[in-house]
Amino acid sequence: MNILQKLRRGQDGIVVGGIHEPILQSIVDFDYLAGKKRPSIRAIVTGTRTAYKLFFGPSEVLIPCFSSIESIPASLRLDIAWFLSLESGRRACDSVTHFFEQVPHALGAHIFAENVPEVHATKLLQRFLKTYSIFGPSGVGFLVSGFLKLGAIGGVSLEQIHRSHITEKGSIAVCSTSGGMTNELIHAVSDSGRRVSFAACVGGDRFPVFSLTDAFTLAESDPNTDAVVYFGELGGDDEYEIITLIEEKRFTKPLVAYIAGVIDEAFEEHVQFGHAKALVRKNDESARAKRSALRDAGVHAPDTFSGFLKAIDELSVPRGNGKMKKKEMSTSRQKTILTTRKITGIGALPKLVSGKKITSHGGTLFVPALLEALLGRPPKSNVTVAYTDAVFRLLIDHGGHVSGAVNTMITARAGRDMATSLSAGLLTIGSRFGGAVNAAAGAWLSGVSRNISSADFVSEWGKRREPIPGIGHKKYRLGIPDPRVLALMEFKNVLKKHPHSDFAQSIEKITVRKKGTLILNIDGAISALFLDILSEKEGLTNAELQTLVRAEFFNAFFILPRSVGFVAHFLEQKKNDEGLFRLPDELLHETDTSSHSRIV
């Protein structure tokens, strides 16, 4: 079974040495568009972080990073078949050698770097030629349409991947020593209406590990390949390998070839072109001599590139089945501060109250001690304990988008410690975020104490041109209530009277007429219910409740649980270790103070 058959059976796991974001992202884009359930990049070897973020369709994924091949868990190594070396030419040989030593069941590797020392290339040839397929050095990689994109091959943008149709199975193999021309050939095949079966870039250095003989032997043995398209250059004797294969009948499939570099004949001396071996050192290495030799062997080798494209179009192989089906992709490609933490309490809210009974609470140890510290005496009622426990469970976290979590995560990614990161998050708490619990308690207590109507209360705040604390939400609105508020309001069922909760809800009925987002929010609900519970179950008087408001007692019931959530976000960022966060330049707007015009 050759590497193509193994690949098509699912052996596509890649470990990458080094980071080159456009290449990494293009591989994951290919995977998603090809219908894979997960990225083929299983791990990245780099000493700078523990995870690296990429887009997988409309979502973001974290690829685990390790300091070495040895540090990759054994279970994960079993899922890896390929190594992509994005490191320097000097380090490529050692990293590839090390990979095969640690992952002996692997199929192959690709070396992206140019100018790998010749002694290193020959060392890889001698040791691994018979066991593994090593593409490069100085190439764009290896492609099996719909199954594997190992490197920059096929393009590094979504547009190039769409245009090349490399996520669809095909019947024409593409091969070249030139990386850029490998991609151009893929596009040429696609533009002709055909699809590529596989593509291999041999590499432009003088001593590539993967040879043309390897590529053409692979094409000959592949039942999915009906023909080969090849682009070569002056210099070297690669094309004579092909001729030998044809003469020995080890390659029998149709071949269209173009050899570039006739322009060299216009100079008095031979010129070194782009690749290391693109230099004529003897007569039979010229482009003209190679074309002639290929034609003598029966290969269709046109003199012009336009003739070459026409020959591709005339190949007797099946055409593709139309346009590639479009799949949902992330359009902004602006990395967020990724957090995988789920919002506590949302989507799986605990049943807090059933009828007139509290169903469960976990506050038998910690919560009573906490309430004793805050109240200055032990709580009298299990209702108070259960309610505090419910508030804490529902408020630990509300996702990574809120200001406190964002500040915590950014500070963590700046390399700061837990206390500093937590402090950065806590400093955002105020009247606009979380700090309105106490202000709302003061508002509800004042309204009920004065026996004022809800309409007059709203009018009072309107005249002051101030928002009513505990009213309004950025995300939830009329018809889409905050599920945490609904859960807490069940506690009204275990109270004989609930004047503050009733008052707060009566205010909501008025404010939502003005704007649908002016609902009773979690701050307002917590404070209203706490006033009712402390009054009925703990026996606190209005004067004692006023003292608690002045002491900012009620804000503790947001700050304490949310501190736990902020610490959780801090720990996740430290584990992921994505490095310093920076907003994309396109999100920033600078002002030209000389003209007062906005520069985008």
pLDDT in tens, 148-188: 999 999 999 888 998 899 999 999 999 998 888 999 999 99
**Structure confidence at residue 101 (pLDDT):** 95
pLDDT in tens, 186-220: 999 999 999 999 999 987 676 677 888 999 999 99
With beta carbons less than 8 A apart as the criterion, state whether 209 and 124 touch. Answer: yes
Query: Collapsing DSSP states into helix, strand and coil, what is residue 101?
Result: helix
Mean predicted confidence (pLDDT) in 6-22: 93
**Structure confidence at residue 140 (pLDDT):** 93
pLDDT in tens, 571-600: 989 888 888 888 777 656 554 444 443 333
Instruction: Provide the mean pLDDT of the chain.
Output: 86
In the predicted model, is pLDDT for residue 264 greater than 60? no
Q: What DSSP string describes 461-482?
A: HHHTT-PPTTB--SS-BTTB--
Listed by start position, the domains of the chain span 3-313, 353-576
With beta carbons less than 8 A apart as the criterion, state whether 324 and 168 touch. Answer: yes
pLDDT in tens, 24-74: 999 999 999 999 999 999 999 997 788 888 999 988 899 999 999 999 999
pLDDT in tens, 518-539: 999 999 999 999 999 999 999 9
pTM over 0.85: no
DSSP state of 151: S
Cα separation, 571 vs 226, whole angstroms: 54
Give the rounded distance of the alpha carbon of 143 from its chain centre.
22
- Confidence at 260, pLDDT banded by 50, 70, 90: confident
pLDDT in tens, 364-397: 578 888 888 888 899 999 899 999 988 988 888 8
- Confidence at 274, pLDDT banded by 50, 70, 90: very low
**Structure confidence at residue 519 (pLDDT):** 95
pLDDT in tens, 313-364: 999 887 766 555 556 565 556 666 556 555 444 455 566 676 777 666 555 5
Cα separation, 108 vs 110, whole angstroms: 7
Q: Which sequence positions are flagged as catalytic?
A: 275
For CA atoms 111, 117, 122, 127, give the dihedral sign. Answer: negative
Q: Which residue's structure tokens are 């995988």?
A: 340
The CATH code for residues 3-313 is: 3.40.50.261
Q: Which residues pair with 430 in a beta bridge?
A: 433, 434
Cα separation, 233 vs 239, whole angstroms: 9
Q: What DSSP string describes 17-40?
A: ES--HHHHHHHHHHHHHTT-SS-S
Structure-token pair, residue 564:
């736990």
Percent of the chain with pLDDT over 90: 58
Mean predicted confidence (pLDDT) in 120-134: 89
Q: Which residue's structure tokens are 């591709």?
A: 312
Angle subtended by helix axes 305-313 and 179-191, to nearest 10: 50
Cα separation, 241 vs 46, whole angstroms: 38
Which amino acid, residue 57? G
Mean predicted confidence (pLDDT) in 255-259: 94
